[in-house]
Amino acid sequence: MPPFGACSGSLMLPCPGTQIGTICASASLARTTCGKAQGEGQATMQASEAPRAMAAAMSVASSLDLTVGDGIVLHDSNKLTLRLLPCDVLARVAPVAHQVSQFEVELAQRLAESGCPVAALEPRVEPRTYERDGFVVTLWTYYESAPLREVPPADYASALERLHAGMRKLDILAPHFTDRVEQAQQLVASRDHTPALTGADRELLGATLRSMRGVIGGRGAAEQLLHGEPHPGNVLTTKKGPLFIDLETCCRGPVEFDLAHAPEEVSEHYPGVNQDLLRQCRILVLAMITTWRWDRGDQLPNGRQLGTEWLSQIRAALDRKGSKDRARASGAR
Tens digit of pLDDT at every position of the chain (333 positions): 344 444 333 223 333 334 555 565 455 444 433 333 333 444 566 777 899 999 999 999 999 999 999 999 998 877 899 999 999 999 999 998 866 788 999 999 999 999 999 999 999 999 999 999 999 999 999 998 887 778 999 999 999 999 999 999 999 999 999 999 999 999 999 999 999 999 999 999 999 999 999 999 999 999 999 999 999 999 999 988 999 999 999 999 999 999 999 999 999 999 999 999 999 999 999 999 999 999 998 988 899 999 999 999 999 999 987 777 756 666 665
Closest to 235 in 3D by CA, of 290, 300, 160: 160
- pLDDT of 35 reads 37
Q: What is the pTM of this model?
A: 0.86
Q: Which domains does the chain have, with CATH numbers?
A: 20-37+147-324 (3.90.1200.10), 50-141 (3.30.200.20)
User: DSSP for 109-174?
Assistant: HHHHHTT-SBPPBPTTS-SS-EEETTEEEEEEE--PPPS--S--HHHHHHHHHHHHHHHHT-----
Biggest distance spanned by C-alpha atoms of the chain: 73
| Helix (H/G/I), strand (E/B), else coil: 81 | strand
Give first-to-last CA distance, the chain, whole Å: 51
In whole angstroms, give the CA distance from residue 292 to residue 275: 26
Cα 140 to Cα 197: distance, rounded to the nearest angstrom: 40
Side chain identity, residue 91: A
Ramachandran angles phi, psi of 322, nearest 5°:
-65, -40
Residues contacting 265, CB < 8 A, separation 6+: 153
